[in-house]
Amino acid sequence: MAALDPGRDKCGLAVLSEDGTVFLQKVIATDCLEAEVEEMLSFHAPDCLLLGNGTTSKAAESRIRSACPQLEVTVVEEHHTTEMARKEYWKANPPKGWRSLLPTTLQVPPVPVDDFVAVILARRYFGRKD
């Protein structure tokens, strides 16, 4: 299963197995969306792409369907996924030094977390909480 968190400038892309194993997790430039999805298809061959229903989802869906007509695209709810992704980022990358003294809820991750959103979309679809 693949998942995409579409955005104006960048997107999160992930490929997971049904048991939640992450095979691919990255942030891509929206300008390169078609090429990145095609490359992901050639390496991982997912049966479906979950697409978050955020602001730019209609444009992303149109671009993906044109470039990859063989790929099934399912639009899914992405409510609260950015907040969840920030928590997941800090679990995967615990703050070091003086930053470890501040609660992560008061910190902004230093990198985009769109890739974590894509993982959350897929896990949510599979009904997983991890």
Stretch 123-127: mean pLDDT, rounded? 93
**Residue whose pair of structure tokens reads 């409510």 in the numeric block:** 79
What pLDDT digit, counting tens, does each position of 68-96 carry? Answer: 999 999 999 999 999 999 999 999 999 99
What pLDDT digit, counting tens, does each position of 45-75 carry? Answer: 999 999 999 989 999 999 999 999 999 999 9
Which CATH number goes with the domain that contains 26?
3.30.420.140
108 lies in which domain range?
A: 2-126
Q: What secondary structure does DSSP assign to 69-112, as a single string? A: TTSEEEEE--TTHHHHHHHHHHHHS---GGGGGS-GGG---SS-
As for how many domains the chain has, the answer is: 1
Stretch 14-28: mean pLDDT, rounded? 96
SS3 content of the chain, % helix, strand, coil (to 5): 45, 20, 30
Query: What burial class does residue 101 get, using C-beta atoms within 10 Å of its C-beta: 0-12 exposed, 13-18 middle, 19+ buried?
Result: exposed
